Amino acid sequence: MGSLEELRQLIQRHAAPVGERRAGEVFAGSVEAPTEVVHHVMEPTFVLVAQGAKRAMLGDEVFEYGQGQFLVVGVELPIAGCVIEASPEKPYLGAGMTLSVATISSLLLEMGPAAAAAEPAGYAVSDAPEDLVDTLVRLLRLKDSPRDAAVLGPLVERELVWRLLHGAQGAMVRQIGLADSRLSQIGRAIRFIRSHHAEAISIPMLADMVAMSESSFHRHFRGATTMSPLQYQKLIRLQEARARILADAGDVAAIGYSVGYDSPSQFSREYSRLFGAPPGRDKLRLGLRAMGAGAGSLPA
């Protein structure tokens, strides 16, 4: 049996809803039909598609990845995505894990100096080599043996990260583990924006926080995320508003104010542009979907 075929079988056996995953664990997902677009913030993550395909949108960028390909995300990105190729006979199957800064940093100490490379973006898609697929297979096999997983799991996770460091997206993965890399500096600014999304942000303050000039900060932020800091903040505000609208029975306008909008009309206009319906109508649609098949989360 080939590694990719065994990976498909393991994913189908261990697929779990996003809400049931625990941080840091290898995850697996299965979907039997194309899905609606879901908006969410994706952490630094590795995902490999064993069957089917997905489409993702980041700002104005649209990219797809399918069977035998893997995605690496290097910073927290507000991605909109959907499964585009899946059926009951051939479901979409994907697996991966979040990327640990501590694990990457410790492995960098064991690597020799890396050759100079162009500064990476905050995400990329590549074809998966056989050794990477095989490592993920062995990680998922451990889900069948909790006793072995407790000891061997961290070792195989380190092996997977090691293979990523020496693969097509090694430059990006290295930057995740280097505290002074451009990607890590942008990551610090992103975390600040996310935790202060309802406040007015100061570009000079953000640039100073990461020790860059304003022009350099703008350039590197757009290079990592495809958008400006203010565009990023707007997406975070709107995604947070949508989550609150689904969870909260309160007033929609009040939710707009709570995420940083001063004008209900501007909130409604920008919300409609992103999600395809004004907040009130979208709230009803999300509620009906949640009572049916479940809402809000993408598979692996």
| Structural domain harbouring 221 | 181-292
Q: Is residue 220 part of a domain?
A: yes
Q: pTM of the full predicted structure?
A: 0.87
The pLDDT, as a whole number, for residue 60 is 86
Residue 27 inside a domain? The answer is yes
Percent of the chain with pLDDT over 70: 89
Residues 46 and 142 in one domain: yes
pLDDT at 215: 94
Instruction: Note whether residue 297 is domain-resident.
Output: no
Task: Please report whether residue 300 resides in a domain.
Answer: no
Give the burial class of 184: count Cβ atoms within 10 A of its Cβ; 0-12 exposed, 13-18 middle, 19 or more buried.
middle
141 and 238 in a single domain? The answer is no
* Final residue in a domain of this structure, among 124, 147, 177: 177
Do the domain assignments include residue 107?
yes
Q: Verify that 258 and 281 share a domain, yes or no.
A: yes
Predicted local distance difference test score (pLDDT) of residue 296: 45
Contact between residue 92 and residue 154 where contact means Cβ atoms under 8 Å apart: no
From 124, 154, 177, the end of a domain falls on 177
Of the candidates 131, 152, 177, which is a domain's last residue?
177
Q: What are the mean pLDDT values of the chain's consecutive 10-residue runs (300 residues total)?
A: 89 78 76 93 95 94 96 95 96 95 92 66 94 96 92 95 95 92 94 95 95 95 94 96 82 91 94 91 74 53
Domain CATH code at residue 35: 2.60.120.280
Clarify whether residues 84 and 188 are in a common domain. no
Could you tell me if residue 286 is inside a domain?
A: yes
